[in-house]
Homo-oligomer: A and B are copies of this chain.
Amino acid sequence: MTASITEALQAALPAERFSTSEDVLAAYAVDQGPVLEHWLPAAVVWAESIEDVQAVMRLASRHGVPVVCRGAGTGVSGGAHATPDCLVLSLERMNRILEIHPEDEVARVEAGVINADLNAAAAEYGLMYAPDPASYKLSTIGGNIATNAGGLRCAKYGVTRESVLGLDVVLADGSLIRTGRRTFKGVAGYDLTGLFVGSEGTLGVVVGATLRLRYLPTDVHTIAAFFPEVTTAAAGVLAVGKARVQPAIMELLDANTLVQLDEEQGSDLRQRGGALLLIQTDGFGAEIEAGIIRTVLRQLGATVTTEVSEEAVRLVELRRHSRGAEVDDVFRVGEDVAVPRSRLVHYIAELERIAAERGVGLKVVAHAGDGNLHPTFWVPAGETDKVPVLDAALDESIEVGLALGGTITGEHGVGQYKLRWLPLEQREEVLELQRGVKELFDPQGLLNPGKALPERVEPQAS
């Protein structure tokens, strides 16, 4: 099977769009998520056009070969990990910005356009593409769509779904469809666009997107607020909400995160507090909003930067670009539970309890504005015997997050790594409906198999 499809691909595509060399296969075997089982793909294909993607899908369908789509490979849930005998279909060369229309406030892009590149192009018109995952300097719009990526400013501006108006999708059989529209509003037909967003390459290959742009704010105010401890910082998040002020960014950093930053940068953040809230307001009301926030947080006992703070701006930028340097491994694992905002403080307390009881390290950063946390548990590198403890801590943290009304993944996606937790959140009937959708779109089960959705447990013969 593998041999015949690689021959067919070689015949169908120019040599430079195709590789089976060992080092290439190794480089495209995994994304940045934890690896459960390591597989090399049978081949890597770099599509340069929609027609290339269609040719690949037609051949894959004919030969019954699985296809794992891939943007920049910055995912952290293993959604782009290779599966046995698969083709990895890279969209990274489809990186043209097809159109930016400043009056319609719309962009059309190929799937491989890097988020930051689109933002740079839009900025020339006073516009921005709002979703800003921490990987935004590396990750592609197609990858962002596959995971319905969030980021720092989505409490105010919405996640990827809210910025996608329409999609060009190559289906499993190689046919091309267009979903959605170019207008901001539209209710014709079922929301297929929304169905593809966040489906992690399991329903079709997103090759292009029509995106809504937003106004690049001219006025931005940044606040750093140090609190004695993380619980009061979480109370600060609720107090800002209660003042009915919507920040663009509200990041919570715990004491261990401050220690780590101090070690990396020689700063003294940890001396100044046990937790830090980094808040940015933007838009024409930014100054008024920043004033209200400062007052509210001081009343709670925070030490708040008084005027324009270069340090605060630098810290936000550092936080926004935090991907690339840090990748989890078996000795350091994280999750991205989101909880209702009122439960932030409870969840952080539970995380601290879990870490203490199990004797593992913990640091927490959170997109506090929307209750999405990124805790990291760790044990000393190389202490392999402690890995099971780490995994148990992680499992418990998920269970506690769900018990508090949360979800197992706020923005990273289920991929391969979080499959085991999905049945804790969604009942079998709901999973089964989704399997029906999957079978409708991909009857042969070739698109990113074993991802996003746990397989049906077939009844045992008695």
Contacts and interface: CB of A to CB of B under 8 A. Distances in A.
Interface of A: 101-106, 126-127, 147-148, 150, 154-155, 158-159, 161-162, 175, 177-179, 181-192, 194-195, 197-199, 203, 214-216, 218, 238, 241-242, 244-246, 283-286, 288-289, 292, 338-342, 367, 370-372, 405-414, 418, 422, 425-427, 429-431, 433-434, 436-438, 440-441, 452-453
B414 A184 contact: no
A140 to B, nearest CB: 17
Nearest to A181: B407
Contacts of A179: 430
A189 B422 contact: yes
B190 A410 contact: no
B103 A411 contact: no
A142 to B, nearest CB: 15
A88 B33 CA distance: 50
A440 B434 CA distance: 10
7 contacts: A148-B187, A178-B430, A185-B411, A190-B452, A192-B434, A216-B244, A218-B244
A280 to B, nearest CB: 14
How many copies, total?
2
A218 B102 CA distance: 31
A177 B245 contact: no
Nearest to A414: B188
A330 to B, nearest CB: 24
Given A103-B238, A340-B104, A436-B440, A431 B189 contact: yes
Given A186-B409, A188-B409, A285-B284, A126 B244 contact: yes
A413 B101 contact: no
A434 B190 CA distance: 7
Task: Give the interface centre of A179, A188, A342, A410 by most chain B CB atoms within 10 Å.
Answer: A188
B244 A104 contact: no
Given A103-B341, A195-B194, A422-B189, A440 B441 contact: no
A79 to B, nearest CB: 11
A397 B293 CA distance: 50
A185 B371 contact: yes
A187 B436 contact: no
B342 A103 contact: yes
Contacts of A441: 433
Nearest to A401: B183
B338 A189 contact: no
Contacts of A406: 181-183
A201 to B, nearest CB: 12
Highest count of chain B CB atoms <10 Å: which of A199, A412, A426:
A426
A426 B154 CA distance: 31
Contact of A191 (B161, B245, B438): B161
CB-CB nearest 4 A-B residue pairs: A284-B285, A285-B285, A194-B194, A103-B342
A441 B440 CA distance: 12
Contact of A198 (B155, B191, B429): B191
Contacts of A148: 187, 191
Contact of A182 (B292, B405, B414): B405
Contacts of A106: 340
Most B-side CB within 10 Å, residue of A147, A194, A216, A367: A194
